[in-house]
Structure 1
């Protein structure tokens, strides 16, 4: 999550030939890690779970995914970095080309970048949630709303920024079209890859999760789920 923000900031630094100017205010940079994205990550990490206790007790082989490093390995790490780099390019380039011939200042573009990054981070987190509750809905969508409120306050209060940038740019249709274009361009490739992987090559946890989702508890108790051994070695 933090990498997306850093990649966007790095691309701006390169674009401006390593000048000391910045389009994102210091308050937005600080609140990004404290308010905008921290609470959803914490809440989802505490409340979300892949499978129920009953399924895990019935099929302890499902714990083998951790031993086999299926959930996190170097391949997935680099794929995530490539995906994050692609998303940062979408966040940075779409508003840049959309407003290339306009007269808006860097602060307006910075507000658009901040909002786009927060929306992407929370939607990216929402794509990986297995069990939704009213709390996760509140923190995911509430974080996006809170970002709009905070950016508005930062631009309106002179002691924070006082540029009133968001008030000028958000009243145009181009602003909202840019947000929509960023979300679609950044997330569609990830969504397609995620769908193809889970449809054509699902892991044990995904198969068990689908069994829980579409079958009643009584049917699940009588279902045998094919799973790999814990350490990935064949049965003797």
Structure 2
């Protein structure tokens, strides 16, 4: 960031909060929701999902659907992140593991407490290959539109941070350094919205307020009867 101050321009230009991006995320969420819902409904409704011929009930369908939601949301977050740290790995993959731990713990309670969820993962969903196949299928199909979007963007319409990441991690354009020089030239452009510009604007506002108060005080003093009597009295 110190070498490329132009990266701050992405926030100043409101690149990440345009209507194009907002509508795009809404469409992405709707597509993912439809894929999760329809895939689970049409997969578990008509046929049995176990070798013994057992059909899925509302408990199996709910657990399967929520499994797909957990995987899709966390994998979507992983696709968005450009730089991973240990805390991000912990929360992303830990959230997925906690869901399976919850199914195991909840299913271990007696049927009087867990009811239909009794041993739902160990005896019902876990041994069924369809459970894992549908999870993989739903996650791939749900994330495919966004994956295609980021591939096209990085290949044909890269942002400044994308270019610098490729320069740093992929060692691109090291010989002629055309991308490096382009980013350095973008960094020296005047933005007029930095810290100094905000300080100057604040000082200008304070000066205007002070001048306005001086005028009000002067008018109140000159319009007072005491001031008029002093100014009109003979020397």
| TM-score for the superposition, normalised by structure 2 | 0.66
Query: Which one of the candidate residues 210, 214, 220 is aligned to 2:170?
Result: 214
Q: What are the within-5 Å matches in structure 2 for residues 16-35 of structure 1?
A: none
- The residue that corresponds to 2:224 in the other structure is none
Cα gap change, 1:230 to 1:120, in 2 (>3 Å): farther
CA distance in 1, matches of 2:25, 2:113: 34
Higher relative CO (Cα under 8 Å, sequence separation at least 6) belongs to 1
What residue number does 2:58 align with? 106
Q: Gaps (5+ residues) in structure 1? A: 1-55
Shift of 1:168: 1.0
Once the 2 structures are TM-superposed, how far is the Cα of residue 204 of structure 1 from its aligned partner?
1.3
- Aligned-pair RMSD on alpha carbons? 2.6
Moved more, 184-193 or 158-167: 158-167
Q: Deviations over 1:201-236 (max 9, x none)?
A: 0011211222222349x999x94243374659xxxx
Residue among 41, 61, 65 paired with 2:6: 61
2: distance between equivalents of 1:155 and 1:231? 59
Q: Which runs of 5+ in 2 are unaligned?
A: 48-54, 193-235
Residues 224, 117 of structure 1: CA spacing in aligned structure 2 closer, same or farther, 3 A cutoff?
Answer: same
Q: How does 1:37-56 map to 2 (within 5 A)?
A: 56=1
Who is 1:196 aligned against?
A: 152
Number of the residue aligned with 1:73: 18
Structure with the higher helix share, 1 or 2: 2
Cα distance 1:211–1:153, how it changes in 2: closer, same or farther (>3 A)?
same
